[in-house]
Amino acid sequence: MPDTDSTQPHAREAPADEAAAIPAEKRRRSMRYSVADGCFYASMVGFGETYFIPLLIAVGATTFQIGAFASAPQLFLAFAQFLGIALVERLRVRKRIIVGAVVVQTAILFWMFMTVAQGTSSPWLLVLFGIGYFSVNGVVLPAWNSLIGDLTTERNRGAYLGFRNGLSQLVLFASMAAAGLILEWFDNTGAARMGFAVILGLAVASRVGSTLALAGHFEAPYNPPQGAYFSFWSFLRRSGRSNFAHFVYFVSLMTFAVQMAAPFFTVYMLRDLGFSYMQFMIAQGVFIGSQFLAMHRWGAFADRFGNRAAMRICTAISPWIPLLWFLSTDYIYILAIQVLAGLAWAGWFLASNNFIFDAVTPPKRARCAAYFNFFNGIGFFLGAMFGAWLSARAPATLSTGALTVTFLSPLQFIFLVSSAMRFVVVFFFLPTVREVRPVGEPRFRDMFLVFRGVRPFGGVSFHPFTGVGRSESGALRERVRGFTTRNNHRDPGAPQGAGRDPD
């Protein structure tokens, strides 16, 4: 379990980089390579993963097969976490594990490209490719989380990852837009299959670039101290009194509720509403763009009021989003829904990931991340499979006596159930999660001002990588630099957080 001295719940952790003793030049070089890796990986996602479900629709997949593609790979990814952490702890290396696994993933993606180019792909074959492709991610995640935690320092981690993620989001947006244009052109010429082959070829090339960038990383020493190990059964046994375990269960159940519907929004847009690839690309681009614009505002809010407060706001919004899809099928209206969804999920992703860094000490970070991703993967699998099962049994109408609802598509019934499940999870499980850091309590006004800086047309002052204006960017850097100092010199009367879990 996450470990601290129970007599000092707010004791500051020893920086991971001090333990690793990485030479400064090798650290800087690895961080540059990591930015390149992030950009190439984002390009692969934009050209590849974003269009996996549209590819399934193009080859005639049923709703159940699409659910199987969305769910089965996540189950294998969840169990692959244990292989990943076992390799790290046995071999005591991380870069070599990451590079070796990514080479395997590149080969799987290339094989997938060849079957599409030759016209031999089928829905179930694509499901098998998805299982192999995403399982590799499960092997990589524990090693990558541990390595990037050592290569960055507590002083620069926030600013560096903000820059890296911001640049990656731009590349993701550009590659996704390019892929949409390619598909639209080929589809208009009656050769949609070749369009998918072209974008998958570009995804393969992007993964090759990512592999080369990863190979340039420094192999930081990995020497976890004694006591860093704790078994999966220890995690389960102590989960009743563990704040981190409550967080894991809450996020996993939320993932279950969300993934009942999430894989099928693409199907709903392309098949039921008849969107073109261009319209689909724009809708996805609006979602990613709104995330990009809101991310730094959520970061500042979470720094001041804590990650739990950010999750509380986001989970007050996200249960309503599936219900909004009932009100209209107008394209502009759906783009507006995508904007709202992007703003909410940006805060959720940021806060839920940062909560792990706050709640877990560095020696246990890889193992805790593996357990978190395992439960999250199980939630993903069960949610998508339940959604696929439900789609075959969804009623055409729903009557409550005074009100009768006729569904345009069976998928709308899934959206309704997903919304209800989100409300239930938030109501019962969010109160079990406590904030780890000592933070202030946000006022009602602060919750609305979190979006105050989202100005998509902010002029030349808008920073192209982080979405922060120049004056705001300087202030944000100062907040990041001063984070450690503030934590070590708190006012004795400051509000106290729950702290990390005692062992």
Which two structure tokens, joined as six digits, stand for 369? 């991340």
pLDDT confidence bin for 71, thresholds 50/70/90 = confident
Joined together, the tokens standing for residue 169 give 């989001």
pLDDT at residue 227, as a whole number: 62
Asked whether residue 249 is assigned to any structural domain, the reply reads: yes
- pLDDT score recorded for residue 11: 34
My answer on whether 194 and 273 are in the same domain is no
Q: Are residues 272 and 387 in the same domain?
A: yes
**Cα 492 to chain centroid, rounded:** 36
Q: Let me know whether 250 and 358 are in one domain.
A: yes
- Where would I find the H helices in 92-156? 95-118, 123-151
473 part of a folded domain = no
SS3 280: helix
In a domain, 226, yes or no: no
CA atoms within 13 A on the CB side of 491: 5
Mean of per-residue pLDDT scores for the chain: 79
Same domain, yes or no, for 148 and 256?
Answer: no
Q: Is 371 contained in some domain?
A: yes
Which CATH number fits the domain that encloses residue 318? 1.20.1250.20
Q: Looking at 241-250, 325-334, 399-408, 463-472, which range is the least confident one? A: 463-472
Same domain, 194 and 268: no
196 in a domain, yes or no?
yes
Contact call for residues 75 and 378 (beta carbons, < 8 A):
yes
pTM summary value: 0.73
In a domain, 204, yes or no: yes
Confidence band for 502, pLDDT divided at 50, 70 and 90: very low
Structure tokens at 418: 């997903």
Q: Are 356 and 149 in contact (CB under 8 A)?
A: no
Query: Both 200 and 320 in a single domain?
Result: no
pLDDT at 25: 83
Q: Give me the residues paired with residue 257 across strands.
A: none
pLDDT computed for residue 406 by the predictor: 79
Task: Name the pLDDT band for 476 (thresholds 50, 70, 90).
Answer: very low
Same domain, 381 and 252: yes
Same domain, residue pair 273 and 323: yes
Rounded Cα distance, 307 and 30, in Å: 28
Please give the residue range of the domain that contains residue 205.
Answer: 23-221
Q: Would 484 be classed as within a structural domain?
A: no
Average pLDDT, integer, range 70-98:
87
193 and 45 in one domain? yes
Number of structural domains (the chain) is: 2
Q: What are phi and psi of 195, to 5 degrees?
A: -60, -45
Quick one: pLDDT at residue 8? 32
Mean of pLDDT values over 427-436: 87
Whether 290 and 438 share a structural domain = yes
Q: Does residue 230 fall inside a structural domain?
A: no
Q: What is the mean pLDDT of residues 232-257?
A: 86
How does 287-315 read in b/e, with b if 16+ C-beta sit within 10 Å? bbbbbbbbbbbbbbbbbebbbbbbbbbbb
327/416 same-domain check: yes
Model pLDDT, residue 307: 82
- Mean pLDDT over 94-113 rounds to 94
pLDDT digits (tens, 9 = 90+) for 131-142: 999 999 889 888
Looking at the fold, whether 167 and 250 belong to one and the same domain comes out as: no
pLDDT tens, position by position, 366-375? 778 788 888 9
Which residue, of 413, 436, 454, is where some domain finishes?
454
